[in-house]
Every structure is written in C-alpha cells, then in structure tokens.
Structure 1
Amino acid sequence: MIPPDCGQPIRILCALLLVFPLLAVQAQQDTHLLSQVLFCQPSEPSSGLLKMFDEDQMFHYNFEEHSTSAWLSDFNQWSGQAFPSAENISSDLVFCKTFRENLTTALEDIMPEARGGTHVAVFTAHPLHIGVSNTLICAISDVYPPALTITWRKDGKVLSRELNSYRYFSLNDLSFQAFSYLNITPNYDETYSCDVQVGGDHRTIVSYWVPDFPVPSDVLENALCGLGFALGVVFLLVGFMFLCLSKKLHQLE
C-alpha cells in the first residue's frame, strides 16, 4: 500500500514514467514501437523497468536480483541484450527517484489527484466446455501506478492472493494493464470472482464469472433438424386439407 504521506493530491506523481522510443518500423503500413519504460514510486513495486513492443511486454528487469527475464521463453536467448549495463540502470533509477521527489515537492497542493478508473473483466482462455479444464483470465486496465493485490475466489472462498509486481504492460496513454490467470475445471453450480485492490485506493474492484450454460453443437443441430421435420409435416397436412377442401367445393358446383 502507498504510505499516508503519499495521500496528497500529488499522488499521481508517485509513479514517474519515462518512455524512451527506440525504434519505429514501417511494415505493411503498420507502425510499431519498441520502447523502454522505467518508473519509480513509494509503494510496491517501488521501481520497474520494461522492454515493450507496442503494448506487449518482451522483457522485465528485476532490481532485487539484478537480472532480466523474458515474457516468452523463446526470448530468453536475448535477455542479456535487452537492457543496458547495471550501472546505467542504477543511474537512471537514481535520476527517476530524484526527479519524482523534487517534482512532488514543487507541485504539492497544486496538482489535483488523478486515480483513473480501473476496469476489471474475467473471461476464459478457451471456449467453455463444462467439465473440461480451462483458464480464467482476469484483465485489469487503466491502472496507475501498477501496485495491485489480486485475489481469486470460488463461491466466496479465497483460492489465491498475489501482489502483482512485474506482470503488467505499459500502454500508450501512460497507464498500465495487468493480467492474472487461474486454472479451473468449470461446473454449472460454481461462481468465480477476481478481486483487485489498487495501491493507494481503498476500494476493491470485483468482477464475477459464472458458466453461461452453452448449448452443445450436436444438441442444437438435432433440435433444428427436429424442428424442420415437424414444420414439414405440418405444411404437408395443411396442403392436404386445402386439397380436400378444393375438391369438395368443385363437387358442390
């Protein structure tokens, strides 16, 4: 959580985002941006360094272990080349913290607080089939700064709780997006929820997920075939009745 002294209206500046555009390439009329994102703040995580391709994270730097990890295992072979030397990273972090502290002091009681409107949505990674293992995805957007406590619940009972410290993505509007995952085997009578607490905010944002009772494709196919056959029989009987009525009218004439 953010300490009380950051409860000033200036808390928006408790996270400083420095974006260094590194490369823009033109491919099939689409412009892509390779960027390095450094932020620092009083709360947890106190600092972060990301390598982004557009709005997808490629690498993350661990300040405690002074190591680089790749978001995808295929990128591990380039982890050593993702960021500059540890000395340069340390100097950038010192500059970030000094700049944040000076700016906070200069703009205290001047700039209003801006919390943003955090949005949480829960959905499955694969099409839903009851009794078949799946993964629930909790997508958290419009987060600033990215200090999150994420709690998964099943029927109100806590399944897991985590402090998100590196699984986030920097967006072009200077906010962050984060994801949390839960492996499940869904049943009809279950309710899941993703509870999100944002650092510095006393609210808990909850998003629920319940099975939507999908109709199996073979059942739907059989139902449509049966309905078509029934309508065919009805139209055949109606046509036969009209034919008989027409013959009787001719006989009366």
Structure 2
Amino acid sequence: MAVLSGAAVPLLLLGVLGGVGAVLKPHVLLQAEFYQRSEGPDKAWAQFGFHFDADELFHVELDAAQTVWRLPEFGRFASFEAQGALQNMAVGKQNLEVMIGNSNRSQQDFVTPELALFPAEAVSLEEPNVLVCYADKFWPPVATMEWRRNGAVVSEGVYDSVYYGRPDLLFRKFSYLPFVPQRGDVYSCAVRHWGAEGPVQRMWEPEVPEPPSESSATLWCAVGLAVGIAGIAAGTALILRAVRRNAANRQPGLL
C-alpha cells in the first residue's frame, strides 16, 4: 500500500519579446514536492524541486539531503539550502498522516506507466549515440528502470532522471543509456511499477540496410560486365559504319 502527499505551486513569469508590437511570452517556474511511504516494511520517499518551463533546475531527495543541480552551471549563479526542502518534507509527512486518518487508510488507484524507447540521434553503425527510455503518465512516483543488451543487464553509464510532475498530477521519468550501435544488437528497457503485475518492456534494435550478399554482388558484377561488353560492341559498330560512310563519300565521280 502506498500513500502520498504533495504539492505543485506554479509561478507565472512574463517575458517580453523586443521590437514593434512586442508580445508577452509566459514562462512557468514550478515548485513541486511529494512525500510518500509504503506500508508493510515502512519506507518513505520524498522529493522537492524547481522546474522552469518543464525543465528541471534542481532537486532535493530525502535520503541524500542535498541540493542537486540539473546542470552544474546553474549552481554558479543561484543557491538553495537543502534544509528548506527537508522542512517542507516534514510538513508533507504530517499532512500525509492526517490524510491517512481522514481517508480510513484508503489509497488512490495505481496508474501504470506508458513506455517509449528511442535513440537520441539518427543511428549510424559504430557511431556513439544515446538510447532514451521514457516512462510517462504513472502514479505513484516509484518506478525502477532496467536496461539489457542482448539479454544481459547493462548498468555502466546509465543515468536516471528524477520524477517529473505533470499538470494532471501524474509523473514521468527518463533513463539514458550511452551505446555504440552494432548490427545484430537488441536493447530493451523494462520498468517495474506497483501498478503493473510484471515489468513493462520495450525493445529496440538498429534499423540499417543489410549489406549485399556475395551472390548478389556477383550477379551485379556480371550484369555490369554484360552491359559494358554490349556498350563496347555497339560503339564499335557505330565507328565501322561511320568509316564506311566516309569512304563512300570520298570515291571520285565518273567523267
């Protein structure tokens, strides 16, 4: 059983595009947080973060208790004390206990994630790329993502994003796997979630043209050779015809 308390506070900012007839362009700075725990072996998860136009700026997780900037450069011109996020999580925990009591320990229905698997860039064999596994529209925000290559688990280089909130109060999450495409490789991404009886899985393999077989190559060589011989024969016939025509034109007329 899982129970969750959370909040999302959007702050609307207006940016002005310069020039004649300037247009106000809205931007959204979103503060999002959640606190949840499972019953049975009592375990809690909590996350606090800020997002700008749906892109993460930073987050704080309960276990780590530190501010993690999405890009290190963000922390050079701004700061955020993780203690403030932990205080919000403590309030979320209290609110959760009240909600559990008021609801007679009932819980919201689980929503199973939708899963997509795709490369970040156009695929070329032996060219480094990144596979993206995208889990979307799920609740609660507890999901584990696992990569496999040709059936073997892959963990090296894998990066998992935090949970991103959605306007419909569901969640989404990304996992990234750097890889070098090779012919015959098959990759899979599986997501385990409380709303699914088993893992939700997608598979992917490079879609590249097959090289021509030896028999096909031999056939095309034979066709090319035949076309070449036919061209030579046709050219020779035209040359002989032209020579004969010139010889006939040079014969002296009768006196």
TM-score of the superposed pair, with normalisation by structure 2? 0.69
Per the alignment, residue 89 of structure 1 pairs with 85
Q: What do residues 142-187 of structure 1 show as CA deviations (whole Å, max 9, x unaligned)? A: 1222212111001111112999986222222212211111111112
Q: Which has the larger radius of gyration?
A: 2
Corresponding residue pairs, total? 202
Give percent identity, aligned residues only. 25
CA contact (8 A) 2:34 2:47 kept: yes
Shift of 1:40: 0.3
- How far, CA to CA, are the matches of 2:158 and 2:7 in structure 1? 23
Task: Report the Cα distance in structure 1 between the residues aligned to 2:89 and 2:106, rounded to whole angstroms.
Answer: 25
Q: CA RMSD in A?
A: 3.0
Which residue of 193, 196, 201 maps to 2:191? 196
1:183 aligns with 2:178: yes
**CA contact 2:4–2:36 (8 Å) conserved in 1:** yes
Which residue number in structure 2 is paired with residue 56 of structure 1? 55
Distance of 2:61 and 2:106 partners within structure 1: 34
SS at match of 2:37: coil
Alpha carbons 2:161, 2:174 under 8 Å: kept:
no
5+ residue gaps in structure 2?
A: 17-22, 212-255
SS in 2 for 1:17: strand
* Structure-2 residue corresponding to 1:219: none
Whether the 8 Å CA contact 2:110–2:194 is kept in 1: the answer is no
1:67 maps to a residue whose letter is Q
Q: Which residue of 2 aligns with 1:99?
A: 95
Change beyond 3 A, Cα 1:100–1:157:
same
- Offset of residue 206 of structure 1: 0.1
1:135 aligns with 2:130: yes
More helix by share: 1
Alignment correspondent of 2:4: 15
Unaligned 5+ runs, structure 1:
1-5, 217-253
Between the aligned partners of 1:96 and 1:63, the Cα distance in structure 2 is: 12
Return the offset for 1:203: 2.5
Matching of residues 1-253 of structure 1 within 5 Å: 6=1, 11=2, 14-27=3-16, 28-43=23-38, 46-81=45-80, 86=83, 88-108=84-104, 113-160=108-155, 167-199=162-194, 201-213=196-208
Higher relative contact order (CA 8 A, sep 6+): 1
What is the one-letter code of the residue matched to 2:69?
A
**CA deviation profile, 1:7-30 (whole Å, cap 9, x unmatched):** xxxx4xx12221122343255454
Give the AA of the match of 2:51. M
TM-score (norm 1): 0.69
